[in-house]
Every structure is written in structure tokens, then in C-alpha cells.
A and B are shown apart, each in its own frame.
Chain A
């Protein structure tokens, strides 16, 4: 097991390195000289050169690449062209906003999905199952941004129950971090995007759990338990425990999908998260921010994959490692 963990660990490092290199190449190929959008055209040649030197953009590409790698190790993502502050400083609050929204959404969706998926898998063949299945497949086929727009239209424009977007009332500045996230105003703003996220992420854990439950139902230990008169409730509990494994894989992989859907969701609800920040950064040609947010998203996905692979062995002792 330790050997396996070690191998997965160094494989992860290699994957991280390759992904970062791809990002480096991708962002170096981006159109437009970053200085051209910074100050107006009249910026004279000397000042422009000075800025390029300051940002290390005059060095040969391989040197830039080495500096890029070195900075990565120290979590130094450079300085934003637009905000004129370190990328990390500009990104940590959007990152946190994204995690609060998507993390809560995913958590609730997975919980609901596991319970209802187990139920559908247990009571198979009925009308309820057919309906639940088609409903969750429909949800799965619904683009998250469209779902968001519809929810926004109904609850915000027609019923006027919730704000149309953003995270706080206009003009509000939080006194401290605690106040940013723990207030009625914040919850009120989060309600609609959260509802959208839950509905969007509900179907996958539900379907995975259902299939897995169907498989567990065929196993002998359940027949045995049933024959010795174990009540249905505990039968369900026993099968749920056994059926959870594929859901764990899903949870990890879904972290990756979170970073896709998040961009769209944040655009619809003008949520000041990292996905929206990245989109804005690309529009502003602020590549350090775009690159930084991409690096953060990718690393999280890759690290989550590692965590899951390691968790797997812990959760299912039947798995043998070479």
C-alpha cells in the first residue's frame, strides 16, 4: 500500500508538471502584448521596455519557463496587469467565494443524491423509479446556465423574492471575513445560485448511487441477511454502505466538473467567484490572473484525483495493489 501511495504520488507530480507546462505554453501564445492594453498607446518605448523587464517578459522563453516553474513551487503567480497587485491577493477572495457556493451546493447535492439514488435503486421497477430516473436524466441534460436563467426569471424577476445577482447589496463592504459569509444578506443572495447548483449536481450522484445499489442488491450477503430476518431498514443501510464506493469516485471527479459549471453559474448570477474572474481576466488580457486561476483549478482537480485513489484502498480493502 505504501509503495502504491508513493507511486501515485510521484505520478501526480509528473501530471501536475505536464499540465503546468501546457498552461505556460498556452498563455505565452496568447495574442496581444500585455503592455499594449495597460496604458494608452502614447506610452513611450522606454517605459514600455521597463515594464517588460519588470515582469520578466524580455527574457528568452526557456528562462521565462524556468522562472515560471520556480515561482510555482513557491505559489507565486505573478502580479496582475489589471489590479496591479499580486495574483494571489487578487484571487483568494474569489476563490473563497467559489468554494463557499460550489462546496455547499455539491455537499447538499451529493447527500440528497445518495439518499434518493439508494431509494430508487431499492424500489426498482415502480412508477416512482421510472419518474425519478427520467427526471434526473432530464436534469442532467439541462445546461446549468439555462437552469440558472429560468430560476432567475421566476424567483427574481417575476416573483421578486430574491436579488438578481451578486453576493451582497450594492455598496456593502464587509467589516471582516466572518461578516462576509455569515449574514442574512449573504444567504439571501446565495439562495438562487445555490438552488441551481444543487439541482445541477444532484443527478450524477443519484444515478451513480442507483446503479451501484442495483448491483449490490444482487449480492449474496443480502439474501442471507434477509433470510435470517433482518428488517428492511437495516438491509437498506447495509447495501448503502456497500454501494457508496462508486459515489466516492464520482465525488472526486465531480470536483473537476465543478470548475466547469462554476464559470457558467457565476456568469449568470454575477457571483464574484474565480470562474467569473477568469473570464473577466481574459477579456481584459490580464493573463497573470487568468493563468493563476487556471493553475489553481487544475491543481485542485489533480490533487483530488490523488486523494480519491488513496481513499479507495482504505474504503475497499478488497482492492489489491501490485
Chain B
């Protein structure tokens, strides 16, 4: 029980340490604010969007409001179908944040466990798990995702499945190398002598020490997830029921509207960049907590 409390404490210490550094680091602070903003959009998006995002808007003369440049009424202009780009961009945050968070959660869960088990047991267990990791490294992501989504059908869950099937590989390798050095530390020996079993040693004694690193990879995982989702959306493999930034770019590109309609291209792209960059920057800030070596300047 004590140990579980202490693993909670290590997480809280990690978060507090990160927040302390965030306060001093202007770039980190700004990216945390940007991230919070997009999470807010993900939650509230559909209710604050001025227009229903996929509805065609008509002008007063009854014509469809096609490819209108930005104006007060439509801050980001309209699409070739007369949809409001501003509303689509706001609504698109939801699927990006959702897929990013869920896939990051799975990436970290799988990656951390594989790394823990491989590093702790070593020998043939390590060998088998690391070969599986090699296999995951050997399959290029985009082609794999194309095939998987074609096979299982387009949909949010299948995109998450494609992302998590491969992306845990990095986390697994990093956590494993950390565990390799942790398991030789005196506190692990002490626990072993005191009669702790494998499970107890692994999840109560060793795991809390790699938890901060896992959380760090969670931030990167969100970035990878969002980027992967956008790429698949751009290839036309996004969930057709939901509006996403990648899919907006797919339609802008496919319709040939990129010749003129920069207002349709810039907002979703900048949104992707802002969210992904914020994840990396917040991650970098927290990296200092896990690796104090980076702090000396």
C-alpha cells in the first residue's frame, strides 16, 4: 500500500516539477496554454462553432456560398461546398484530441509493459519481446495504416488500432533500457531479499521509477497520434462521419481548390502544427524533470 502511495507521489512530484519549470520557461508556458485551448475546443467545439460544420450555406440570392474568401461573417472563408471553414476547424479539434489522447494512452500502456517485462526478466523473454519490437520497427507506418484501414473499414477505432499496433515500439525500447539499469540497483536487491515476488518487484518497486518517463512518452504519443490521424485523413481514409483537419485538407486538395483557396488550407494545417508542436514543447519541458542532466546550462 505504501508503495502504491509512493508511486502516486512520484507522479505528482513529476507533474509539480514540470509545472515549476513551465512557469520559468516561457516557451513551455505558451505551449501549455495552446494545448489547453485546443482541449477546450475539443470539448466545447460543436457548441461554439457559428455554423453547422458540414452544412451548405446559401447567400441571400439563393446561391451556394462557394469558396468565399475570409470576411467578418466567415473569418476563414468557405469551402467549395459552401461550408464554413472556421466552424470546421473548431469542430475538427475534437477528433484530433480524442484520437491523440486515446492512442497515446494505449501506446504508453503497451510500450511501458513490454519494456518493463523485457528489461526485468531478460534472457529469452527479453529476446522474444525485443524481436517483436523489431518487427514493429520493420513495418512502415503509413503503408501499414493504409492496408489496415482498407481491410477493417474506415472509422475512428480502426485508425486508433493502426496507430497503437505500431507506435508502442519507441516507448518499449526506452523503458526497457531504463529497467535494465534499475534492476541492478540496491533497492531492488533489498526488496528481493525481503521476499518480494516478480509481480511486486516489477510493478511496485521498479514501475514507479519509470512512470515519469512513460508520462513523457504520453506527450509524444499524443503528437504522433494526431499527426498519424491527419495523414490518414489526408489520404481520404479518415472517418467520413466526422470532420477532421486531415480530411479538410483532403477535400481542399482533391477539389483543386488549393489553386486559390488558401483560407481553406492554412487553418487546419496551422492547427495541426500548433497542437503537435505544443505536445513536443511541453514534453521537452517535462523531459528536464526526468533527466536533470539537461538542466545544467
Contacts and interface: CB of A to CB of B under 8 A. Distances in A.
A167 B148 CA distance: 29
Interface stretch (B6-14, B54-62, B180-188, B226-234): B226-234
B44 interface: no
Contacts of A293: 143
Contact of A305 (B134, B140, B258, B277): B134
A290 B274 CA distance: 34
Contacts, number: 138
Given A142-B273, A279-B235, A282-B146, A298 B131 contact: no
Contact of B273 (A141, A297, A298): A141
Contacts of B259: 153, 157
A264 B235 contact: yes
B231 A264 contact: yes
A143 B269 contact: yes
A149 B265 contact: yes
Interface residues of B, number: 44
A19 B138 contact: yes
Contact of A157 (B139, B230, B258): B258
B290 to A, nearest CB: 14
A197 interface: no
Interface in A110-156: 124-125, 130, 134, 137-138, 140-143, 145-146, 149-150, 152-153
A143 B227 contact: yes
Interface string A228-262: 00000000000000000000000001001001110
Contacts of B137: 253, 256, 301-302, 305
A60 interface: no
Contacts of A259: 140, 142-143
Interface in B240-297: 246, 249, 252-253, 258-260, 262, 265-266, 268-269, 272-274, 276-277, 280-281, 284, 297
Interface of B: 27, 131, 134-135, 137-144, 146-148, 150-151, 223, 227, 230-231, 234-235, 246, 249, 252-253, 258-260, 262, 265-266, 268-269, 272-274, 276-277, 280-281, 284, 297
18 contacts: A18-B131, A18-B135, A31-B150, A143-B234, A143-B246, A143-B273, A149-B252, A149-B265, A150-B265, A152-B258, A153-B258, A153-B259, A157-B259, A275-B142, A290-B147, A293-B143, A294-B140, A301-B140
Interface of A: 11, 14-16, 18-19, 22, 26-27, 29-31, 124-125, 130, 134, 137-138, 140-143, 145-146, 149-150, 152-153, 157, 253, 256, 259-261, 263-264, 267-268, 275, 278-279, 282, 290, 293-294, 297-298, 301-302, 305
